[in-house]
């Protein structure tokens, strides 16, 4: 009974995961056309499952498909980054309101472990894994709400945020500036969550969000160049 999802990776899932990784890794440029036949050769699959995978990615907001014109990798403007950040904040707010005080202590453990991992990464200056651990941390905070749709929506937003970072559109300089301060803010957040005070957590989140927006402002100006 220990086997869970070992079976049936399904070419559609496999292809979606592979293309998603390529996009988030920056191997596919912004606005680049995704030629179906080329991807089938690259992935060693046929077009029907590939097309289904593209539909999934389209719904996830990572690619844009226009009828009879094929799919392209999503192009992000500052407006898009703004949308992603505000939506994230709104979803986190709901999660805190529903999840604090904590009703699922085991999920709190996930957050604690992720935070510990973040501290280790900050000490080792391992920025790549720090990002990963940071996302696990936020995801486990969201999980406190016990709200499946919220988790799914948040995962989608997180993914698009990863895309922003891959495009260097979001807070790169700030995030890489002081790793321990970054982790420290998350520790504060977790402590407030453990204390069971939703209002305090929301206030801290608001600060977090404000920082993100000011980072966005400092990035402004790179937009018009991309809008040809």
Partner DNA sequence: CTATGAACTATTGTCTACAATAGATAGTCG
Partner DNA sequence: CGACTATCTATTGTAGACAATAGTTCATAG
- What is the spatial distance between Cα 199 and Cα 26, in angstroms, rounded to a whole number? 38
Among 1, 3, 6, 37, contact with DNA (rule: CB under 7 A): 37
The stretch near a second copy (CB under 8 A) out of 49-57, 121-129, 165-173, 175-183 is 49-57
The stretch near DNA (CB under 7 A) out of 67-75, 156-164, 208-216, 220-228 is 67-75
Verify binding: residue 68, a second copy, rule CB under 8 A.
yes
Verify binding: residue 61, a second copy, rule CB under 8 A.
yes
Verify binding: residue 17, a second copy, rule CB under 8 A.
no
58 vs 191, which CB is nearer to DNA? 58
Instruction: DSSP letter for 176, please.
Output: T
101, 144 in Cβ contact below 8 A? no
36, 49 in Cβ contact below 8 A? no
184, 44 in Cβ contact below 8 A? no
Token readout for 46 is: 């046929």
Verify binding: residue 98, a second copy, rule CB under 8 A.
yes
Binding residues (CB under 7 A) for DNA: these are: 7-8, 10-12, 33-37, 44-49, 51, 65, 67-71
């Amino acid at each position: 009974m220990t086997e869970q999802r070992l079976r049936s990776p399904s070419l559609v899932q496999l292809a979606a995961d592979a293309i998603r990784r390529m996009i988030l890794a920056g191997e596919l440029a912004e606005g680049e056309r995704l030629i179906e036949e080329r991807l089938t050769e690259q992935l060693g699959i046929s077009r029907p499952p590939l097309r289904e995978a593209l539909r999934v990615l389209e719904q996830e907001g990572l690619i844009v498909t226009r009828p009879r014109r094929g799919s392209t990798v999503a192009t992000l403007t500052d407006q898009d980054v703004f949308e992603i950040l505000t939506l994230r904040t709104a979803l986190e707010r709901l999660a805190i309101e529903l999840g604090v005080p904590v009703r699922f202590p085991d999920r709190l453990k996930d957050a604690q472990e992720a935070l510990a991992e973040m501290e280790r990464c900050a000490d080792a200056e391992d920025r790549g894994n720090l990002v990963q651990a940071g996302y696990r941390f936020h995801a486990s905070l969201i999980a406190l709400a016990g709200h499946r749709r919220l988790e799914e929506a948040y995962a989608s937003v997180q993914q698009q945020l990863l895309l922003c970072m891959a495009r260097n559109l979001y807070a790169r300089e700030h995030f890489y500036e002081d790793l321990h301060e970054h982790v420290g803010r998350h520790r504060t957040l977790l402590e407030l969550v453990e204390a069971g005070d939703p209002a305090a957590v929301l206030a801290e989140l608001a600060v977090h969000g404000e920082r993100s927006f000011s980072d966005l402002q400092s990035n402004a100006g790179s937009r018009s160049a991309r809008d040809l």
